[in-house]
Structure 1
Amino acid sequence: MRWDDLDRETCSLSRTLAVIGDRWTLLVLRDAFLRVRRFEDFQASLGIARRVLTERLKLLVDEGVLKKVAYQERPVRYEYRLTEKGLGLYPALVALVHWGDEHYAGKKGPPLLHRHLACGHDFKSVMTCSECGEAIDPREVKPHAGPGARKRA
Structure 2
Amino acid sequence: MYAKKGIRAYQKDSLRSDLASADPHRIIQLLMQGVLERCAQAKGAIDRRDFEAKAELLTRITDIINALNDALDPEVNPELVENLSSLYGYMNERVHQAGLEMRAEILDEVISLMLTIKSAWDQISDEAKVEAAQARS
Same fold (TM over 0.5): no
Structure (1/2) with the larger helix percentage: 2
TM-score by length of 1: 0.27
TM-score by length of 2: 0.29
Structure (1/2) with the larger strand percentage: 1
Higher relative contact order, structure no. (Cα contacts within 8 Å, ≥ 6 residues apart): 2
